[in-house]
A = this chain, B = another copy of it.
Amino acid sequence: MEKKIVLLPGDGIGKEIMESAKKVLAAIESEYHHDFVLQECAIGGDALDRYGVPLPDDTLKACEEADAVLLGSVGGPKWDNQPPEFRPEKGLLKIRKGLGLFANLRPVKSFPSLLHASPLKEEIVKDSDMMIVRELTGGLYFGEPRERRNNGEDVVDTLAYSRQEIERIVEKGFESAQIRNKHLTSVDKANVLESSRMWREIVNEKAADYPDVKVEHLLVDAAAMKLVTNPGGFDVIVTENLFGDILSDEASVLTGSLGMLPSASIRTDGLGIYEPVHGSAPDIAGKGIANPIGMIMSTALMLEYSLGMKEEAKAIETAVMDCLEQGYHTSDLNIKDGKQMNTEEITEAI
């Protein structure tokens, strides 16, 4: 099958780990007789340096025409003092909004061979296996007005949602629960926010369409607690944009596998951007020692979700697991009696 894939290496370690993704794609291509047409484009600080904007029009256009997009990572101290419109992260926000990628899926799973690296006690974290479904193009991230007022004396941001925006992400939450363990936790702040009360109503309405899914409502503060005290108690979490940002990052460090975790930002027709959860790690960029597994797992997620290649995705995941079980690891991990490798070596091993 021919598939068009746009690669957005971005900043920091993004370039190095994207090389790993390319090698993995090449291996899948020859093993399964696919034809991946790759096109590399600029985003983030890299795009700012080369074109003066964090998201060039050409990049957006190429992504819109592709079957799927792989992203390395975006941002770094070099651009931290830029005005808001000219910061690398703006490229990320614009591409999400521009492509209408309203659903961010973040699976969090404990890797048995990495449990010792978890900050949590092993008995607390060992059965963790959850999926966070975060709304990605609404809420406080895009609501208007967002401005200073009265000569800079006051400031407002706006948390705005339409019924349709809430409905489609809630449906995504239910669908995700249906293909997993049929337990959906909807997170809101309905004791304070009007938007959360509407969110909760819509979840309750939609529940009728998914009678096989058990639904539970949890306040965001209680959810932040439960992630730490009982992460195994979650299956699918669905929540709005900012709550999802906070909770998914909190969840990502629970299992000690942050460097391993992938994410998908998708829309209804299947187009999606796939990227590792970790950041651009400017401190180790360029040294060839970055952990490429988050990027490689993102590649697997892309094959499964956007390209319909379940078997190919499974093959990659199995290769990663085998590799970890044999004790191969990068310098960010510490596997007892393991063998430390650089980015290129571990990619080859996988």
Residues of A near any B CB (own CB < 8 A)? 84, 87, 89, 93, 118-121, 124, 140-141, 143, 146-148, 152-164, 189, 191-195, 197-198, 220-222, 224-225, 227-229, 242-243, 245-250, 252-254
A315 to chain B, nearest CB (A): 31
A146 to chain B, nearest CB (A): 5
* A225 lies within 8 A of B252 (CB): yes
* A148 lies within 8 A of B253 (CB): no
Q: A120-B228, A189-B245, A224-B249 given. 7 additional CB < 8 A pairs?
A: A120-B121, A146-B194, A155-B162, A222-B249, A225-B250, A225-B253, A228-B228
* B147 lies within 8 A of A155 (CB): no
- Complex Cα distance A228/B157, Å? 28
* B250 lies within 8 A of A195 (CB): no
* B147 lies within 8 A of A194 (CB): yes
Q: How many protomers of this protein does the assembly include?
A: 2
Which 10 pairs between the two chains have the least Cβ-Cβ distance?
Answer: A221-B249, A224-B250, A157-B159, A155-B198, A146-B194, A155-B195, A119-B124, A225-B253, A89-B191, A156-B160
* B198 lies within 8 A of A225 (CB): no
- Complex Cα distance A248/B220, Å? 12
Cβ contacts under 8 Å, A254 to chain B: 228
Beyond A121-B119, A192-B141, A193-B140, whether A159 also contacts B156 by CB under 8 A is yes
- Complex Cα distance A313/B114, Å? 44
Cβ contacts under 8 Å, A164 to chain B: 153
Cβ contacts under 8 Å, A253 to chain B: 225, 228-229
Cβ contacts under 8 Å, A195 to chain B: 155-157
- Complex Cα distance A89/B61, Å? 49
Closest to A196 in B: B157
* A119 lies within 8 A of B247 (CB): no
* B228 lies within 8 A of A194 (CB): no
- Complex Cα distance A248/B222, Å? 11
A299 to chain B, nearest CB (A): 24
- Complex Cα distance A250/B140, Å? 21
Beyond A119-B124, A154-B160, whether A146 also contacts B193 by CB under 8 A is yes
- Complex Cα distance A92/B107, Å? 36
A301 to chain B, nearest CB (A): 20
17 A–B pairs (Cβ distance < 8 Å), ordered by A: A84-B197, A119-B228, A119-B229, A140-B193, A143-B156, A148-B194, A153-B162, A156-B158, A156-B159, A156-B160, A157-B193, A159-B159, A221-B246, A224-B246, A224-B250, A225-B252, A225-B253
